[in-house]
Structures are given as C-alpha cells and as structure tokens.
C-alpha cells in the first residue's frame, strides 16, 4: 500500500503523519519503528512541512546513470562511487537555497532519494528491499567549478556541502516500484531534466546492498541515486522544482 509520510511543525511542536489528500493524519511513536495512527487530523495548510526525516547521513552517487556517463565520456563504474552530504546542507521543502559567499557556478541536480527504514549492514541484493522504507525527491546542489579547482585534490564534499545544499522531501512515499519512476527538474517553469530511474548503472537494490557492505545504514538515512542529463546552473532569484510522480514535488527558491 502506498503511503505518503511527512514531518511537520504545528503549534511549535514537530510531529509526523501521513498525507490523506489535503489532510494530515497524525501518528505517534517512531516513523521507522512502530508508528501508531491517532484520531487526530489537520488540514495541510495549517502546518509547516519539514524535511520528512533527519538523516544521520546522506550518501550521494556519482556517475550512476548511463545517459549522463555517455555524454561525459565516462565508462560505467565497477562499483558505486559516492560521497557524503553534510548535515548542515539539509534543507526543508519550500525553504531557500542560499548562494555561498565564494564564487562559482551553482547547479541543480534532481535525484531520487532512497530512505532506509531498518538498520542495514552487509545485506544481500535479494533482501535489500526489506530495508527500504520509501522514496523521496532531492536536489543535490553543487558549486560545480570548485570540484577540480585544485588539481591535487578533488573537492567533492566542499562543492556539495554548503549550507542549504541538500533539500529533500516533501514526503517519503512507500509502496513504489522505483524502476517505474521518472525524475523531472523544473527551473523557473522550464523542464530541464526528465529522465527514467531505470537508466541507473546500479539499481536501488544494488546500491543498498553494496553500500551496506561498506558502512551501516541506519533508519532515516538517505541514498541519493545520482542524476542524469540536463544538469544546469541557477541564478539567484530562481525557483527550482524536483518532481517525481507518485512522490510529489520538492520546491525551493535560490537566493
């Protein structure tokens, strides 16, 4: 069964629940443990939607889509290539992505996020699906020209770790087949990315399994699956939207 889980602020209290049309069903307990529905509902317009989880870590993939790899002249990697997005970069839906004080071209990267639901260590590809809670929309914002600015040290973490550089949400959707999803990124009303998730080099199951061999994945952690063709720069004053049918639309301003 498909459900749309969200975290929200209401009367100075952070709560969580499920989206039922324009209403929010309030739950108690632990979203990733044994969440219990209450009899309380409220209108979506009465609450402030927050990032749907507070991850201990966000793992971001590089060169995980055949189409972008071919465009860049890159061979498919033999194993997942990834970095970590730092917690200071996490950003709520509808909040503002801030231009860093340093110079450089700021680019959007619309991506599918895998949200882990159970403690996950060294799991098989066949069992990986049982450790996934659901999926969310994400924007892996990057100052692109920082990465190779110093020829002795690629600066992936700095380029992607500025404050506000990892918006995600607005919900986590359960019960989806990720291979059927399409990611669209819209800049100022113009579709700039429109690519199928099934073009990934490493599938959702493979990513969870292979990364869990390297590090323990905890409930609420997110794996960003990487991006595909259409990545581009944003100018201050822009609105960027990452939309995945079945999940929703993540909207942020860039100022």
User: What is the distance between the alpha carbons of residues 14 and 131, in angstroms, rounded to a whole number?
Assistant: 25
Angle at 223 between CA 12 and CA 27, to 5 degrees: 35
CATH number of 3-49: 2.30.30.370
Identical fold, 3-49 and 51-254: no
Asked whether the beta carbons of 164 and 89 are under 8 A apart, the reply is yes
First to last CA, the chain: 38
CATH number of 51-254: 3.90.850.10
pLDDT of residue 105: 95
pLDDT of residue 147: 94
pLDDT of residue 233: 97
- pLDDT tens by residue, 138-158: 999 999 999 999 999 999 999
Q: How many helices (H) and strands (E) does the chain have?
A: 3, 20
Query: Would you kindly state where each structural domain of the chain is located, as residue ranges?
Result: 3-49, 51-254
User: What is the distance between the alpha carbons of residues 216 and 204, in angstroms, rounded to a whole number?
Assistant: 16
Per-residue confidence at 202, pLDDT binned at 50, 70, 90?
very high
Asked whether the beta carbons of 197 and 181 are under 8 A apart, the reply is yes
pLDDT surpasses 90 at 1:
no
Distance of CA 84 to CAs 87, 127, 140, 149, 209, Å? 9, 24, 11, 19, 17
Alpha-helical runs (H) found in 60-203: 66-72, 156-160
- pLDDT tens by residue, 97-111: 999 999 899 999 999
Average pLDDT of the residues in 118-124: 98
DSSP label of 230: T
């Amino acid at each position: 069964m498909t459900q749309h889980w969200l975290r929200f602020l209401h009367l100075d209290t952070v709560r969580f629940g499920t989206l039922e049309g324009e209403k929010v069903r309030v739950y108690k307990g632990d979203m990733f443990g044994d969440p219990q529905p209450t009899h309380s509902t409220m209108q979506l317009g009465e609450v402030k939607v927050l990032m749907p989880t507070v991850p201990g870590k966000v793992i971001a993939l590089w060169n995980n889509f055949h189409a972008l790899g071919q465009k860049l002249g890159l061979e498919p990697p033999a194993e997942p290539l990834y970095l970590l997005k730092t917690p200071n970069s996490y950003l709520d839906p509808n909040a503002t992505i801030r231009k860093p004080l340093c110079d450089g071209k700021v680019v959007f990267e619309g991506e599918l996020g895998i949200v882990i639901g159970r403690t996950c260590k060294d799991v098989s590809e066949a069992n990986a699906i049982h450790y996934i809670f659901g999926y969310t929309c994400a924007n892996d914002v990057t100052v692109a020209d920082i990465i190779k600015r110093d020829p002795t040290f690629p600066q992936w973490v700095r380029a992607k770790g500025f404050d506000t550089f990892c918006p995600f949400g607005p919900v986590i959707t359960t019960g989806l087949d990720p291979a059927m999803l399409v990611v669209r990124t819209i800049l100022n009303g113009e579709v700039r990315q429109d690519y199928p998730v099934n073009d990934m080099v490493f599938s959702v199951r493979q990513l969870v399994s292979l990364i869990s061999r390297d590090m323990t994945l905890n409930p609420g952690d997110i794996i960003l699956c990487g991006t595909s063709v259409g990545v581009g720069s944003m100018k201050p004053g822009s609105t960027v939207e990452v939309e995945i049918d079945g999940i929703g639309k993540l909207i942020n301003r860039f100022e």
